[in-house]
Amino acid sequence: MTELRKRHYLDYNATAPARPEVIEAVAETMRNVGNSSSVHAEGRAARAIIEDAREKLRALVNAPVNGVIFTSGGTEAIHYAINGTVKNGTARRIFVSAIEHAAVPSNAAASGAPVETIPVTESGVVDLDWMRERLKKHDATEDGGFLVCLMYANNETGVIQPVREAAEIVHEAGGLLFVDAAQAVGKIPVNFVMSGADMMAATGHKFGGPLGVGALIVAPNLPLEPVMRGGGHEMNRRAGTSNAPAIAGLGKACEIAAASFDKWTRIEALRDRMQDAAEAAGARIWGKGRQRLPGTLSLSAAGFASQTQLMAMDLAGIAISSGSACSSGKTKPSHVLAAMGASEEEATSAIRVSLGWASTEDDAEAFIREWPAAYARVKARAA
């Protein structure tokens, strides 16, 4: 009998394995019956589970009281933040950083408001000088309010953005700041209040929670037009029967994450070993030298096409990505790397390797062993 090759999952930025405690929390809640909007005992029990999870997420990111609105995930939270401010007239223009997840520019373009792109530097950090000068020209009295969209940490390179500094610039010019923190929450300490953000998106499945649940975190008294109407769910801000099992799982993931940040030092050390091996083999590392998510490694390898790398690693039992999970099946070069000044060859030979809470030394060693060897074979054939 042929022995099955051991698999090594290195695509945590796409989705992380659910933690065992999360699976149990979801299963236990599914064993119960009760709609959280009902007033009977069963309904009150479901409501208590939801509010407990809300408090755990609120505590994890230091969100305001009543500031957590549960959604179906990060994309819905992004949709709500953008459309909720455009539809009520709060934002008449949208500024989007050039490295945002595709859900941000897509929803901005569909909102009906004019959209402008904020450039980034070669290191993958938003250009604060450009932002400052452009927003000085925006007259909120004549031009109306505006919304700036800047992610907390990039999903491809892992580069952490200067959110606090951006918030100061945006607020001085009279605008609002929306931060997509889907990749950051649960992996690094995120403090909503201290960040200066007016709105922030989070999702559970990036750090060991369930798929299909997330949240939009909002500042106190921030007016938002509901984009899903019906009953009075989520403080009349997001209609639809609450997904109590998924929310319970998200709460458990938040509880565990809050007590586990010190463990990410080990993940960062594994990432750095993989980075050293790839760089020694001839790869270019994106975001090197900048503050990054501890488990994210983005690299390009001249002459080694992204899709070829994905297939070679998959055959070697290693799961990686060529970029955002929402677009990695496409052959279009990464818009993130293009914004950072990457050549076409660099953009089309880029991959993303990402570790997380369950990653092991064995996983890192597999990449260190297999990827340089695969690249060496490619260069030998081209010689």
pTM for the model:
0.94
> Is-catalytic flag, 326?
yes
Catalytic residue among 45, 277, 319, 326: 326
Strands 8-9 and 318-319: parallel
Neighbour-count burial of 5, counting CB atoms closer than 10 A to its CB (0-12 exposed, 13-18 middle, 19+ buried): exposed
Neighbour-count burial of 159, counting CB atoms closer than 10 A to its CB (0-12 exposed, 13-18 middle, 19+ buried): buried
Whether residue 254 contacts residue 186, with contact meaning beta carbons closer than 8 Å, is answered with yes
Structure tokens at 341: 């000044």
CA distances from 306 to 114, 173, 257, 332, 346 (A): 34, 41, 32, 11, 10
User: Where do the domains of the chain lie, and which CATH numbers do they carry?
Assistant: 8-17+261-382 (3.90.1150.10), 20-258 (3.40.640.10)
Whether residue 351 contacts residue 306, with contact meaning beta carbons closer than 8 Å, is answered with yes
Return per-residue pLDDT of the chain as tens, 383 residues: 445 679 999 999 999 999 999 999 999 999 988 777 777 888 888 889 999 999 999 999 999 989 999 999 999 999 999 999 999 999 999 999 999 999 999 999 999 999 999 999 999 999 999 999 999 998 777 778 999 999 999 999 999 999 999 999 999 999 999 999 999 999 999 999 999 999 999 999 999 999 999 999 999 989 898 877 776 677 767 868 889 999 999 999 999 999 999 999 999 999 999 999 999 999 999 999 999 999 999 999 999 999 999 999 999 999 999 865 454 455 578 999 999 999 999 999 999 999 999 999 999 999 999 999 999 999 999 87
Whether residue 82 contacts residue 94, with contact meaning beta carbons closer than 8 Å, is answered with yes
Measure the CA–CA gap between 242 and 232, rounded to whole angstroms. 11
Chain centre distance of CA 27: 26
Instruction: Find, among 98, 126, 119, the residue nearest to 336 by Cα.
Output: 98
